[in-house]
C-alpha cells in the first residue's frame, strides 16, 4: 500500500511543478541603444530578455527603444528603486544606470 501512495505523490508533485513552472525567458525583438562617455560611445542591447536587469554603466544622452517591449530605466546599477518608464518606439535624452524590459 505504501508504494501506490508514493507513486501518486510523485505524480501530483510533478503536476504541481509543471503547472507553476515559468514558461521560460522570452526576449524582446529589436535593439535598445544608449550612449556613455558623455554621449560619445554608442552601445546596443539586441533582443534583451524580459525581466532581466541590464547594468549599463553611466548612460546619458540620446536613448532609443526600438524593441517591441517597454523599458524601465533605473538610477542604480542593480535595477532597484524607482524606475522611469521608457515606452517602445521612443527616443529621448536620458540618464540611467540599468534597464529592464517588460511585456
Q: Dig out the grid coordinates for 45 from the structure.
A: 542591447
Mean pLDDT across the stretch 37-58? 92
Give the bridge partners for 43, in sequence order: 34
Q: Dig out the grid coordinates for 94 from the structure.
A: 536620458
Tell me, what's the pLDDT at 12? 41
The yes-or-no verdict on residue 18 having pLDDT over 90 is no
- What gap in Å lies between CA 66 and CA 34, rounded to an integer? 11
State the CB neighbour count (10 A cutoff) for residue 54: 17
Global confidence as pTM: 0.74
Give the pLDDT band (50/70/90) at residue 37: confident
Give the pLDDT band (50/70/90) at residue 83: very high
Amino acid at each position: 500500500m505504501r508504494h501506490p501512495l508514493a507513486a501518486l505523490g510523485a505524480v501530483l508533485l510533478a503536476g504541481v511543478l509543471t503547472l507553476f513552472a515559468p514558461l521560460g525567458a522570452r526576449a524582446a525583438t529589436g535593439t535598445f541603444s544608449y550612449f556613455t562617455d558623455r554621449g560619445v560611445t554608442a552601445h546596443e542591447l539586441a533582443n534583451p530578455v524580459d525581466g532581466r536587469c541590464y547594468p549599463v554603466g553611466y548612460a546619458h544622452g540620446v536613448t532609443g527603444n526600438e524593441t517591441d517591449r517597454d523599458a524601465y530605466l533605473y538610477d542604480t546599477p542593480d535595477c532597484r528603486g524607482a524606475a522611469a518608464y521608457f515606452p517602445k518606439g521612443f527616443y529621448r535624452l536620458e540618464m540611467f544606470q540599468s534597464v529592464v524590459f517588460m511585456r
